[in-house]
Structure 1
Amino acid sequence: MTNPMPRGLRLLTAFCRLTGLHRTLCPLLGGMGLILVLHRVLPPSPGPRIMANARIEITPDFLEQLILFFRGRGYDIVSLDQVHDRICRGSSETPFVCFTFDDGYADALEVIHPVFRRQQAPFAVYLITGFPDRLLIPWWYMLEDLVLRRDPVCFTWQGREYCYPCSDADQREQAYAAIRQLILATPAGELDGCLEAIFAGTGIRSGDYDHLLLTWDMVRRLAADPLVTIGAHTVHHFNLRELPPDMVRREILASRQVIEEHIGGPVRHFAYPFGSPAEVGRREVEIAGQCGFATCTMVKEGTIVAGHRDHLAALPRVEVTGRYQDLTLVDLRRCGVLSLLRNGLQRVVTL
């Protein structure tokens, strides 16, 4: 599902498509390479969608186009271990790109893995262990179905009544956004009760969504392939900035330990939940940096440069979404143009 770009971004991509000016900036702004963050890969679904969910989904065709796009421009497709090695060397003979997929959806094995096997290219999956352990339910997809099926959506939580009209697309988007924010703002210890209040009596059951998530058997099958790196992504995917320090450390270390027990090998890489500066601060980077990972990655527009060897616990990743499946936009990002617009002249993009 794609959306029209904002006017400014549309004009910029059109200008660069015509002139190729951005490519002249690549030697200056492109750095050694970049790390991409994606989530899901699956065929387009018919019918109405909620953009917050559709935006984390790209099509298999676009994924293959991305791989061929970077190879056609002389990029090495590398693993996270290779990213670490190149940063530590401080140079890269050829530019690189690293594909990472967050959370641990079943399409990592069913769709993504076959594409990378066919292309003989490495990729990484940052796994929320609460997915295969079934400690975390994909309530965001349950909520999408709720606002698409019911009008209005009404529930009571902590003595307050909530009611959202859902008769058209705009109302459904607004209802989804409001309820999502309520869920995200709910303290961890109260989350189950909040979800029960929202979905009680709706016919929407969490077990019906298990097929969206990796099982441990599927994780082991992925980990058995040398092309695949399994990284840690916490247990519950909480906003770490809202947790006390001991719980932050526990979320990080427990996820690594559980994965290592299941795959029988070390887990050397970590990605912060959500990953933006709104959810990742200096405290979180300091704690993660003390946990012994080779790299820790955020979600922030920026390419990788030699100076990142001093910031291995806060590496930027460029997010590719289903909202704009446009290779010209990808070209702008690999050349560092969007990083320049968003981060100014900051060369080492980190916190």
Structure 2
Amino acid sequence: MRLVGSDVLKFGLSTLRTTRAHRVLGNSWRGLGAIFMLHRVVEQAPRSHDFAPNRGLEVTPAFLDAVISRVRDLGYDIVDLDEMVRRLRKGGPGPFAAFTFDDGYLDNADLALPIFEKHAAPFAVYVASDLPDGIADLWWLTLEASIRALDHVEMDIGGETISHAAHTEKEMRGAWESVYWRLRDVSEDDARHAVARLAELAGVDGQALASSLSMRWDDVRRLNDHPLCTIGAHTASHFALAKLPLDRAREDMMAGTARLESELGVRPRHFAYPYGDEGSAGLREFDLSSEQRFASAVTTRKGLLFDAHGNHLRALPRLSLNGDFQDVDLVEVLLGGAPFALWNKFRRVNVA
């Protein structure tokens, strides 16, 4: 995390849970509900001291199973995306929760689906079409594999040379911190080119790595045909849209949607912005999703859902089920809304 260290945030959430301070605000910040955001489900979480910088994108089946149970125990209806939109437009009823996955990983079909079947709970998967096409550039995973394979990392990023030892787990974590956010600052093409050069030096085949983790079109069709699953669009190439020229951003959104429609026979009604933070999706991108007539579009901006989001259906916040925080007791803290009230400076809607 760039601004708030993982350990600091974990301590803050644990303190709220222990002291019950999150209950001071009562239910006023719980809102109508929440959209949970996930990426991958993996059989075993990395050890805390392992070099696993993408661990935040991974949760275990046991944790996901426990979260669904806890959400229902707290009185939430688990709804699909169409029902979520209906309730936001009507201002209720609540509380409700929607579960969403980004990108299109194979484990969504193999490991997540059985858990949602067990609970008879709906969920959604936003698929970037390059994944099932077998041409995805999941550069953040390639970067992790490359750093792990090298003893020393040297990268030219945006005209700046970054050099860092990578012998030990600690050094590898330092190398990641040195380059990851710098890559996020430069253009999408420059970032991917820089990682590709490092991968070549490390002997890492990034495309093979991505293909091994991605659903194929048969898997996507299997989920699309399942009554519990909604397939949403997530662009073709998973670029940070706000960093692209307007025409290119529009093209990547349209290409991913068209590719899904051609394979599934139905146009996706819902969309997720790649990366989804303020630097990757803003007012221009919200207008693009409106232009393409998506019923809803989700960001990764932190927050819960309120009545006012019925007027901002293409700029919806989500609650991350982060692999760094696989403690089901924290779910009640997050759903209470206090962390997000503080994070958003007591604004219920953050679309600027």
TM-score by length of 2: 0.90
Note the residue ranges of structure 1 that are not aligned, 5 or more in a row.
none
Residue in 1 that maps onto 2:3 = none
Range with bigger deviation, 272-281 or 341-350? 341-350
Residue in 1 that maps onto 2:42 = 42
The separation in 2 between residues aligned to 1:42 and 1:101, in whole angstroms, is 13
Range with bigger deviation, 300-309 or 226-235? 300-309
Residue in 2 that maps onto 1:147 = 147
CA RMSD of aligned residues (A): 2.3
In 2 relative to 1, CA 46–87 (structure 1 residues): closer, same or farther, beyond 3 Å?
closer
The separation in 2 between residues aligned to 1:144 and 1:87, in whole angstroms, is 39
The separation in 2 between residues aligned to 1:159 and 1:317, in whole angstroms, is 35
- State whether structure 2 residue 16 is matched by structure 1 residue 12: yes
In 2 relative to 1, CA 153–205 (structure 1 residues): closer, same or farther, beyond 3 Å?
same
Q: Assess if the C-alpha contact under 8 Å between 2:146 and 2:204 holds in 1.
A: yes
The separation in 2 between residues aligned to 1:297 and 1:172, in whole angstroms, is 33
- State whether structure 2 residue 100 is matched by structure 1 residue 100: yes
Which whole-Å deviations, capped at 9, do the CAs of 1:78-115 have from their partners, x for residues lacking one? Answer: 001110011111221x4100000111111111111111
Tell me which amino acid in the other structure corresponds to 1:121. Answer: A
Residue in 2 that maps onto 1:284 = 285
Q: Assess if the C-alpha contact under 8 Å between 1:49 and 1:144 holds in 2.
A: no
Tell me which amino acid in the other structure corresponds to 1:104. Answer: G
In 2 relative to 1, CA 202–115 (structure 1 residues): closer, same or farther, beyond 3 Å?
same
In 2 relative to 1, CA 11–262 (structure 1 residues): closer, same or farther, beyond 3 Å?
same
CA shift for structure 1 position 292:
0.1
CA shift for structure 1 position 161:
6.0
Aligned residue for 1:317, secondary structure, equals strand
Residue in 1 that maps onto 2:31 = 31
Residue in 1 that maps onto 2:240 = 239
CA shift for structure 1 position 332:
1.5
CA shift for structure 1 position 45:
4.7
Aligned residue for 2:28, secondary structure, equals helix
CA shift for structure 1 position 27:
2.9
Which whole-Å deviations, capped at 9, do the CAs of 1:303-349 have from their partners, x for residues lacking one? Answer: 11111111111111111101111223211211111111111332234
Residue in 1 that maps onto 2:252 = 251
The separation in 2 between residues aligned to 1:192 and 1:316, in whole angstroms, is 27
The separation in 1 between residues aligned to 2:185 and 2:72, in whole angstroms, is 42
Aligned residue for 1:27, secondary structure, equals coil
Q: Assess if the C-alpha contact under 8 Å between 1:300 and 1:319 holds in 2.
A: no
In 2 relative to 1, CA 350–193 (structure 1 residues): closer, same or farther, beyond 3 Å?
closer
The separation in 1 between residues aligned to 2:328 and 2:203, in whole angstroms, is 41
Residue in 2 that maps onto 1:82 = 83
The separation in 1 between residues aligned to 2:155 and 2:302, in whole angstroms, is 38
Range with bigger deviation, 160-169 or 235-244? 160-169
Q: Assess if the C-alpha contact under 8 Å between 1:303 and 1:349 holds in 2.
A: no
Which whole-Å deviations, capped at 9, do the CAs of 1:230-286 have from their partners, x for residues lacking one? Answer: 111111111111111111111111111111111111200011111111222211111
CA shift for structure 1 position 162:
5.1
Range with bigger deviation, 240-249 or 134-143? 134-143
In 2 relative to 1, CA 155–188 (structure 1 residues): closer, same or farther, beyond 3 Å?
closer
| Count of equivalent residues | 344
The separation in 1 between residues aligned to 2:351 and 2:168, in whole angstroms, is 40
Which whole-Å deviations, capped at 9, do the CAs of 1:216-238 have from their partners, x for residues lacking one? Answer: 11111110101101111111111
Kindly report which structure 2 residues correspond to 1:165-244, keeping only aligned pairs within 5 A, or say none.
Answer: 165-190=165-190, 193-209=193-209, 210-244=211-245
CA shift for structure 1 position 194:
3.0
The separation in 1 between residues aligned to 2:69 and 2:344, in whole angstroms, is 28
TM-score by length of 1: 0.90
Tell me which amino acid in the other structure corresponds to 1:142. Answer: T
The separation in 2 between residues aligned to 1:168 and 1:255, in whole angstroms, is 40
Kindly report which structure 2 residues correspond to 1:261-280, keeping only aligned pairs within 5 A, or say none.
Answer: 261-280=262-281
The separation in 1 between residues aligned to 2:92 and 2:46, in whole angstroms, is 45
Q: Assess if the C-alpha contact under 8 Å between 2:156 and 2:162 holds in 1.
A: yes
Identical aligned residues as a percent: 33
Residue in 2 that maps onto 1:57 = 58
In 2 relative to 1, CA 46–253 (structure 1 residues): closer, same or farther, beyond 3 Å?
closer
The separation in 1 between residues aligned to 2:168 and 2:196, in whole angstroms, is 25
CA shift for structure 1 position 180:
3.0
The separation in 2 between residues aligned to 1:46 and 1:74, in whole angstroms, is 32
Q: Assess if the C-alpha contact under 8 Å between 2:149 and 2:202 holds in 1.
A: no
